[in-house]
Chains A and B, each alone.
Chain A
Amino acid sequence: EVQLVESGGGLVQPGGSLRLSCAASGFTFSNYWMGWVRQAPGKGLEWVAHINQNGGEKKYVDSVKGRFTISRDDAKNSLYLQMSSLRAEDTAVYYCARLGSSITCHYWGQGNLVTVST
């Protein structure tokens, strides 16, 4: 059974940093593109970033470029999202997803809330 479990969220002040982790199991992690999708409170889904199998391709939504970094550790079956210079508008539930063609999110984690506030 495919499982994706996010961790690392919480409350952080504007301008601060946070690293999200996603532990994967039930599939050969190194074979798949992986990504992050977020959802602000009461709002719709927003694609944040994705990474290919060998980490050589990384793409980001414009609003996080230069502030967020996606990475992976295949030995640990884990995906990461390093977030810095956080803003109030980054407040959202962040989902980890296993990707297919055209960034199809075949499997989703349960989500992890990040709150940026004083």
Chain B
Amino acid sequence: QSVLTQPPSVSAAPGQKVTISCSGTSSNIGSNYVSWYQQLPGTAPKLLIYENNQRPSGIPDRFSGSKSGTSATLGITGLQTGDEADYYCATWDSSLSEGVFGGGTKLTVL
């Protein structure tokens, strides 16, 4: 049972848009920055979004992040088959004094 709650799976057609939610509490998402990661099959995770809505250099603007209260959202537009991967949200939990990840969301591009 992960501290941050994500849907297990989402799917959409190529070219479409998808959003992935990440729900937490006031002690984690509500008071700390959220980051998002993409993990392609058999590879290490890669940072997609940091500090709620910032993209590292090299990450296309098809990927976006937002946060409101105790929830965060990752948006992906112009879906490509290469976007099929597992996506994770993460942040610090000030009450637990631990880093916390969501359970992950598997994106399928139909």
A residues whose Cβ falls under 8 Å from a Cβ of B: 35, 37, 44-47, 50, 59-62, 95, 100-111
A35 touches B44 (CB 8 A): no
Q: In the assembled complex, which residues on chain A have CB atoms less than 8 Å from the CB atom of B88?
A: 44-45
Those of B68-105 within 8 Å (CB) of chain A? 86, 88, 90-92, 96-104
Chain A, interface SS category: strand
- A61 vs B98: C-alpha distance in the bound complex, in angstroms? 6
Additional A-B contacts beyond A44-B104, A45-B37 (6; CB < 8 A): A44-B102, A45-B45, A102-B35, A103-B91, A104-B35, A105-B90
Complex Cα–Cα for A60 and B101 (A): 14
B104 touches A111 (CB 8 A): no
CA distance A55 to B107 in the complex (A): 38
CA A37 – CA B100 in complex, angstroms? 10
With both chains docked as a complex, state the minimum distance between the C-beta of A59 and any C-beta of chain B, in angstroms. 6
Q: Is B63 positioned at the interface, with any CB of A under 8 Å from its CB?
A: no
- Chain B residues near A103: list those with CB within 8 A: 35, 90-92, 99
Which residues B36-85 have CB closer than 8 A to chain A? Answer: 37, 39, 44-47, 50-51, 56
CB of B20 closer than 8 Å to a CB of A: no
Task: Report B-chain residues with C-beta under 8 Å of the C-beta of A37.
Answer: 45, 99, 101
What residues of A have a CB within 8 angstroms of the CB of B92 in the complex? Answer: 102-103
